[in-house]
């Protein structure tokens, strides 16, 4: 209340009504501005509590420098903010009572026109006070705001191959990644109770169970949902993308990126795969129920013969199964053991690093070959009878059943895979590995030149051999079976990438090789958004994983790429 106009009004009131009336006017205006000031303080404290800021005056330094000690200090500081909010609330209530009392006194003393002048002066004082403290608190909030991290190019994590034009809000949302977890709007109390009751029913201590129930209910009743981790415009963008049936949003096959495709293009690419009659045929009806009955018949027969325990029978038993759904991942492993092996090798000038890859391994593995190789391995296994009561023919029967009963649904139609191992099936990796081992035995039994280093991970193989024998080795690999074809990539600029490792030929006298972390060009660098509703342990483990990866894979100083 610093405007010169107030002094004129105060002098007028004192001359006309006396010092008692002037005291009431001063008290009325002061209480009005005090209310505005307290409300500004209240808004500031609530903003701090909502954003997770701690005002400098309420920051508590941890007396014990441990994670738990720091948490206690943060919790105490937040409780101080809540106490200040409660105190301000009481002060505002008290100020409003005094303001109302002063206003009643003025209405009994002042004339209407004079009272109206006081109200106008009060409104001016309130506006001045609000403007002053709003600016002060805005500056305080700005100072408390943590520094923004370096901006990332969000569009490098998003590959928009659709005809839809993405807005900035769409990009901001999709850049968080498809593994981003939204904070729930309510506490899922029913889910917690169901899970806890499932555990409590195995406890015989009735008193302890009832006590646990009481404590759980107390915690759930006091629990509050977490703060939203999506902005309002991002929630709106999510609804827009979800309701747009003309596009498909999927994760990239590698690199962690997000791919947007027109639904027609996605379907066209998928039909180009499943319309290959050498590998897939369309079925007139859904075979799920028939396949399930066949599986149960096999299991019953094995249990009847005493080769399957009741426990394993119940574990493998299937009922009310659903048809698998086909989906595609557009294209845009443990390497520590490989790194240890490769660092122990030397690379001479006449030798070359080669990476071999099988073309569509899983869909090209002949099922009959996989079964024959598996049968021979089982027959050669002298310890099989000590690990299972199943006979070789029983295992082969179940293996053939798993490999041949591969069907899936796509756009309301059911297809059967007639050749190759089913993608996504747990048994496919084992079957493919058996076939690859069979090919390796054939190749190494025929070649007459030495292979210095050979290491395979499923369908990716790293080889060191004489440069003059690369083509011969490639031809020998491709000659074992007509369905299994290999491609190869030679080293370039003295470097070759394999898995997530870049192997480097050095000029050192001992001909040792160096390694560093390799990231594919399509790698988005998007792993887990920190604002995602994941446990903080998961977020920390992401960092630990990459630090461990850098320490174990990289042998060169400087940042790994």
- Segment 210-231 mean pLDDT: 87
Q: Two tokens at 491?
A: 């080293």
181 and 221 both lie in a single domain? yes
State how far the Cα of 60 lies from the Cα of 311, in Å rounded to an integer.
Answer: 57
Strand-pair partners of 462? 355, 455
128 and 184 both lie in a single domain? no
Domain boundary among the residues 207, 222, 250 is at 250
Residue 291 counted as domain residue: no
Q: Two tokens at 193?
A: 């109770």
Residue 178 counted as domain residue: yes
- What pLDDT band is residue 102 in, cutting at 50, 70 and 90? confident
Residue 467 counted as domain residue: no
71 and 202 both lie in a single domain? no
In 3D space, the residue among 180, 266, 265 whose CA is nearest the CA of residue 231 turns out to be: 180
Q: What is the pLDDT of residue 42?
A: 92
The tens digit of pLDDT for each residue in 266-282 reads 888 888 888 888 888 88
Query: What DSSP string describes 495-559?
Result: EEEETTEEEEE---TT-BEEEEE---TT-------TTSSS-HHHHHHHHHHHHHHHHHH--SSS-
Q: What is the pLDDT of residue 561?
A: 42
Residue 190 counted as domain residue: yes
- Share above pLDDT 90 across residues of the chain, in percent, rounded to a whole number: 22
Q: Two tokens at 449?
A: 């030149």
Domain boundary among the residues 83, 118, 144 is at 144
DSSP 8-state symbol, 165: P
Residue 99 counted as domain residue: yes
212 and 135 both lie in a single domain? no
Q: What is the pLDDT of residue 156?
A: 56
Q: What is the pLDDT of residue 10?
A: 74
- What residues contact residue 66 under an 8 Å CB cut-off, 6+ apart? none
- Share above pLDDT 70 across residues of the chain, in percent, rounded to a whole number: 93
**pTM higher than 0.85 for the full model?**
no
- Segment 542-560 mean pLDDT: 71
Q: Please say if the pLDDT value at position 371 is more than 90.
A: yes
138 and 202 both lie in a single domain? no
Q: Two tokens at 454?
A: 């050979």
Q: Please say if the pLDDT value at position 521 is more than 80.
A: no
101 and 233 both lie in a single domain? no
Query: Contact at 8 Å (CB) between 195 and 202?
Result: no
Output helix, strand, coil percentages for the chain, rounded to the nearest 5: 55, 15, 30
Range name among 37-41, 375-379, 424-428 with the lowest pLDDT average: 424-428
Residue 130 counted as domain residue: yes
- What pLDDT band is residue 522 in, cutting at 50, 70 and 90? low
29 and 129 both lie in a single domain? yes
Q: What is the pLDDT of residue 1?
A: 41
111 and 30 both lie in a single domain? yes
Q: What is the pLDDT of residue 150?
A: 46
37 and 88 both lie in a single domain? yes
The average confidence (pLDDT) of the chain is 85
State how far the Cα of 422 lies from the Cα of 427, in Å rounded to an integer.
Answer: 9
Number of folded domains in the chain? 2
Residue 387 counted as domain residue: no
Q: What is the pLDDT of residue 5?
A: 56
Q: How many CB atoms lie within 10 A of CB 537?
A: 8
Q: What is the pLDDT of residue 159?
A: 83
Q: Please say if the pLDDT value at position 474 is more than 90.
A: yes
Range name among 185-189, 500-504, 554-558 with the lowest pLDDT average: 554-558
3-state secondary structure 336-399: HHHHHHHHCCECCCCEEEEEEEECCHHHHCCHHHHHHHHHHHHHHCCCHHHHCCCCHHHHHHHH
- Segment 98-116 mean pLDDT: 84
Q: Which domain holds residue 19?
A: 4-144
Q: What is the pLDDT of residue 152?
A: 52
In 3D space, the residue among 113, 110, 48, 126 whose CA is nearest the CA of residue 85 turns out to be: 48
11 and 133 both lie in a single domain? yes
State how far the Cα of 22 lies from the Cα of 18, in Å rounded to an integer.
Answer: 6
59 and 135 both lie in a single domain? yes
Residue 76 counted as domain residue: yes
111 and 220 both lie in a single domain? no
Domain boundary among the residues 144, 178, 200 is at 144
In 3D space, the residue among 296, 310, 368, 347 whose CA is nearest the CA of residue 509 turns out to be: 347
């Amino acid at each position: 209340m610093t405007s010169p106009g107030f002094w004129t009004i105060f002098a007028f009131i004192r001359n006309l009504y006396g010092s008692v009336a002037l005291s009431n006017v001063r008290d009325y205006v002061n209480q009005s501005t005090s209310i505005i000031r307290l409300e500004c303080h209240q808004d500031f404290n609530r903003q701090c509590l909502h954003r997770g800021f701690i005002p400098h005056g309420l920051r508590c330094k941890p007396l014990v420098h441990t994670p738990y000690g720091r948490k206690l200090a943060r919790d105490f500081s937040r409780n101080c903010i809540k106490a200040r909010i409660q105190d301000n609330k009481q002060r505002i209530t008290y100020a409003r009572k005094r303001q109302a009392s002063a206003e009643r006194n003025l209405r009994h003393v002042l004339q209407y026109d004079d009272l109206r002048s006081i109200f106008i002066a009060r409104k001016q004082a309130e506006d001045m006070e609000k403007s002053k403290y709003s600016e002060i608190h805005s500056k305080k909030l700005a100072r408390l705001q943590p520094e923004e991290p370096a901006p990332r190019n969000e569009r490098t994590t998003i590959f928009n191959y659709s005809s839809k034009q993405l807005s900035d809000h769409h990009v901001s949302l999709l850049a968080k990644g498809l593994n981003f977890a939204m904070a729930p709007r309510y506490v899922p109390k029913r889910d917690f109770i169901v899970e806890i009751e499932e555990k409590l029913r195995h406890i015989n201590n009735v008193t302890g169970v009832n006590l646990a129930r009481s404590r759980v209910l107390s915690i759930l009743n006091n629990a509050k949902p977490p703060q939203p981790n999506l902005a309002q415009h991002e929630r709106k963008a999510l609804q827009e993308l979800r309701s747009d049936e003309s596009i498909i949003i999927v994760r990239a096959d590698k690199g962690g990126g997000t791919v947007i495709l027109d639904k027609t293009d996605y379907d066209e690419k998928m039909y180009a795969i499943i319309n290959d009659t050498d590998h897939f045929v369309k079925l007139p009806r859904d075979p799920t129920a028939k396949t399930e009955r066949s599986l149960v018949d096999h299991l019953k027969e094995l249990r009847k013969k005493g080769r399957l325990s009741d426990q394993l029978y119940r574990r493998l038993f299937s009922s009310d199964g659903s048809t698998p759904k086909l989906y595609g991942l557009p294209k845009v492993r443990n390497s520590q053991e490989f790194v240890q092996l490769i660092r122990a090798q030397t690379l001479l000038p006449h030798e070359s690093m080669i990476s071999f890859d099988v073309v569509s391994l899983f869909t090209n593995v002949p099922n009959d070959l996989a079964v024959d190789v598996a049968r021979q391995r089982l027959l050669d296994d002298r310890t099989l009878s000590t690990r299972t009561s199943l006979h070789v023919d029983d295992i082969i029967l179940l293996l053939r059943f798993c490999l041949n009963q591969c069907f899936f649904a796509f756009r309301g139609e059911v297809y059967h895979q007639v050749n190759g191992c089913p993608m996504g099936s747990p048994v496919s990796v084992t079957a493919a590995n058996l076939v690859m081992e069979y090919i390796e035995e054939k190749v190494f039994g025929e070649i007459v030149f030495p292979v210095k280093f050979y290491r395979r991970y499923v369908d990716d193989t790293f080889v060191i051999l004489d440069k003059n024998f690369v083509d011969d080795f490639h031809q020998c690999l491709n000659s074992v079976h007509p369905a299994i074809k290999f491609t190869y990539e030679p080293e370039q600029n003295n470097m070759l990438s394999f898995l997530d490792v870049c192997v480097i030929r050095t000029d050192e006298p001992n001909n040792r090789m160096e390694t560093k972390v390799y990231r594919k060009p399509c790698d988005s660098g998007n792993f887990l958004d920190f604002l995602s509703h994941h446990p903080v342990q998961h977020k920390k483990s992401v960092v630990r994983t990459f630090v461990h990866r850098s320490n174990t894979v990289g042998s060169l100083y400087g940042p790994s790429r």
